[in-house]
Amino acid sequence: MAEVPYASVVGYLMYVMVCTCPDLAHVVSQVSKYMSKPGRQHCEAVKWIFRYLRGTVGHDIVFGNQQSDPLVVGYVNSDYAGNLNNRRSTTGYVFTISEGPVFWKSTIQSIAALSTSEVEYMTVVKAAKDVLWLTRLVNEWGVQQGGVQLHCDSQSVIYLAKNQIYHARTKQVSQIKELIASGEILLQKISTTRMQLTC
């Protein structure tokens, strides 16, 4: 493995991810964890990424035409205890303008959650913080945003976010309830299948 230029190859993948392929964000973050001491399975993962890139050369990020809606729309999702090392969950969300992605994030959550609803709720809360920044940005462009549609595939999270009853695990993240009550965020249910097709 000492002969393999693993760090250089992962560096190239990071450049490609930032410049043209945001869909590589999660997988590149995973392979970059092993840059100091990669094993054979990590090299196989990098080869898989290159095979994926070769198969998706014709795919583009396309922004809608001038008649399309220039508003910010968000999609949030997460897995439950997907990291096998520490049983933490991965948070992921993407925001689009004119149907093209402009802001995205995929990261391991800092604490281990007790349920899938809690994982999804923490993801919605993190995405809500970025909603405020994005709405200010589009307002500077002269676009009157109104409420940002934030799509989630968990009905229990939507209920928890809209429900004003005190909940011991969520008392620190009441900001999302205020944003929903004021209409700055329109939290909506979307099917998991449609979420996968959109993101």
Could you read off the pLDDT of 41-84 as tens digits, one per residue?
999 999 999 999 999 988 877 766 655 667 888 998 887 766 66
Distance CA 104, CA 102 (A): 7
* Whole-number pLDDT of residue 172: 46
pLDDT for 174: 65
The pLDDT value given to residue 136 = 84
Q: Return d(Cα 170, Cα 122) in angstroms, integer.
A: 9
Beta bridge partners of 189: 152
Identify residue 152 by its one-letter amino acid code.
Answer: C
Cα–Cα nearest to 157, from 196, 129, 118, 186? 118
- The Cα–Cα gap between 139 and 120 comes to 28
Tell me the CATH number for domain 72-198: 3.30.420.10
Record the tokens describing residue 95, joined without a space: 């925001």
Pick from 17-31, 100-114, 142-156: least confident: 100-114
The alpha carbon of residue 82 and the mean position of all alpha carbons in its chain are separated, in whole angstroms, by 15
The residue whose two tokens read 């990098």 is 46
Over residues 168-198, the pLDDT tens digits come to 555 445 667 778 888 888 888 888 776 655 5
- The domain spans of the chain are 6-55, 72-198
Find the DSSP H helices in 20-154: 25-31, 40-55, 116-140
Q: What pLDDT is recorded for position 53?
A: 93
Q: How far apart are the first and last CA of the chain?
A: 35
Q: How open is the CA angle 72-59-195, to the nearest 5 degrees?
A: 45
Residue 87 near residue 112, CB atoms below 8 Å:
yes
